[in-house]
Amino acid sequence: MTRIEQWIREEGRQEEKRETARTMLTMGMSPEVIAKATHLPLEEILRMEKETNNRN
C-alpha cells in the first residue's frame, strides 16, 4: 500500500469517528464519554458540540 493510500484510509477512519461522535452528541451523550469511546480529542468533541448547538 502506498503512503497516499494509507493517508486516505486513515482520513476515512477519522471521518467515521467524527460521524460517530456527532451521532452520540445528538443522543445526548457527554463529550467526555464520546472522547473516550471515539479516541478523538475532547477539544474536538466540544467544538463539534458547539457547532451542533449553533445549528439548532
Mean pLDDT to the nearest integer, 29-51: 97
Give the predicted TM-score (pTM) of the model.
0.85
How far apart are the C-alpha atoms of 37 and 47, rounded to whole Å? Answer: 17
Q: What distance lies between CA 38 and its chain's CA centroid?
A: 7
pLDDT level of residue 41 (50, 70, 90 thresholds): very high
Sign of the C-alpha dihedral computed for residues 21, 30, 39 and 41 taken in this order = positive
pLDDT tens digits, 7-39: 999 999 999 999 999 999 999 999 999 999 999
Q: Which residue has the higher pLDDT, 31 or 53?
A: 31
Burial of 1-27, coded b for 16+ CB within 10 Å and e otherwise, reads eeeeeeeeeeeeeeeebeeebbebbee
